[in-house]
């Protein structure tokens, strides 16, 4: 497994690298300080299984940097944005351009581990702090009313999904099996016409579930 960290702060890169090596002891973790450096490393050491990209970098940054890296790696390579700014507009742009996650740099170790577990399993992850901002903006526009069509149990599952929790943790919280949670998640996605958890959370926010 190869992981690439793209961040211009050496201390953060080293700390994140050490954390990733704890999560994935057999992984080879590479660290660079810019998108331009990342392009060179990708060409030399491809393929990568995960790229973690700071949203503010010297040279190319933000969505432009994301697009550049997407053009340099395999389509299935997940690129995750790491940001110290809770900017919902930047988050929406990054997700629209193919980012597989938006993780706040203020996230705890457990949150980062859960996020990567979901992302590597093919899901999209957004830090709860970002979702809180999205909810707050929605609430200032109009008082939320739950018109989702979800059952009370599905709403419970939906709220835990919004915290970024994986199925196993949700099952433990609700005292049920992983299989039951998977059924609830599938039903939630169908009801909300969502393709993934991120779209489900956004839809649930608009509909007043969260």
Token code pair at residue 33: 């300080």
Per-residue confidence (pLDDT) for residue 58, from 0 to 100: 86
From the list 166, 2, 164, 165, the residue with the least C-alpha distance to 77 is 2
Q: Are residues 164 and 79 in the same domain?
A: no
| 99, 126, 153 - which closes a domain | 126
Does residue 136 fall inside a structural domain? no
Contact 178, 168 (CB under 8 A): yes
Q: Are residues 44 and 68 in the same domain?
A: yes
Predicted model pTM: 0.70
Does residue 133 fall inside a structural domain? no
Q: Are residues 90 and 50 in the same domain?
A: yes
| 101, 126, 151 - which closes a domain | 126
Q: Could you give the count of Cα atoms lying within 13 Å of 31 in the half-sphere of its Cβ?
A: 15
Q: Are residues 192 and 115 in the same domain?
A: no
Q: pLDDT in tens for each of the 210 residues of the chain?
A: 999 999 999 999 999 999 999 999 999 999 999 999 999 999 888 889 999 999 888 888 778 889 999 888 887 899 999 988 777 778 888 888 888 888 988 888 988 988 898 888 888 888 877 766 655 655 555 555 556 688 888 889 998 988 888 889 999 999 999 889 988 999 899 889 888 888 888 888 878 777
Q: Are residues 114 and 24 in the same domain?
A: yes
From the list 160, 143, 157, the residue with the least C-alpha distance to 206 is 143
Does residue 135 fall inside a structural domain? no
> 78 lies in which domain range?
2-126
Q: Are residues 86 and 52 in the same domain?
A: yes
């Amino acid at each position: 497994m190869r992981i690439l960290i793209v961040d211009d702060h050496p201390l953060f890169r080293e700390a994140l690298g050490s954390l990733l090596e704890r999560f994935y002891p057999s992984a080879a973790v590479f660290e660079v300080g810019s998108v331009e450096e990342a392009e060179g490393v990708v060409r030399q050491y491809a393929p990568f299984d995960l790229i973690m990209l700071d949203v503010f970098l010297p040279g190319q940054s933000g969505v432009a940097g994301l697009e550049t890296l997407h053009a340099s790696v395999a389509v299935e390579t997940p690129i995750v944005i790491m940001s110290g700014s809770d900017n919902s507009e930047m988050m929406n742009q990054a997700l629209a351009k193919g980012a597989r996650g938006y993780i706040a740099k203020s996230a705890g170790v457990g949150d980062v581990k859960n996020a990567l577990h979901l992302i590597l399993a093919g899901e999209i992850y957004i830090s709860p702090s970002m979702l809180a901002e999205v909810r707050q903006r929605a609430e200032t526009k109009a008082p939320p009313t739950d018109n989702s069509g979800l059952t009370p149990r599905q709403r419970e599952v939906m709220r835990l999904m919004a915290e970024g929790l994986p199925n196993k943790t949700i099952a433990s919280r609700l005292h049920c099996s992983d299989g039951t949670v998977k059924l609830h998640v599938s039903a939630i996605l169908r009801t909300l016409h969502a393709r993934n958890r991120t779209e489900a959370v956004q839809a649930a926010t608009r509909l007043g579930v969260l």
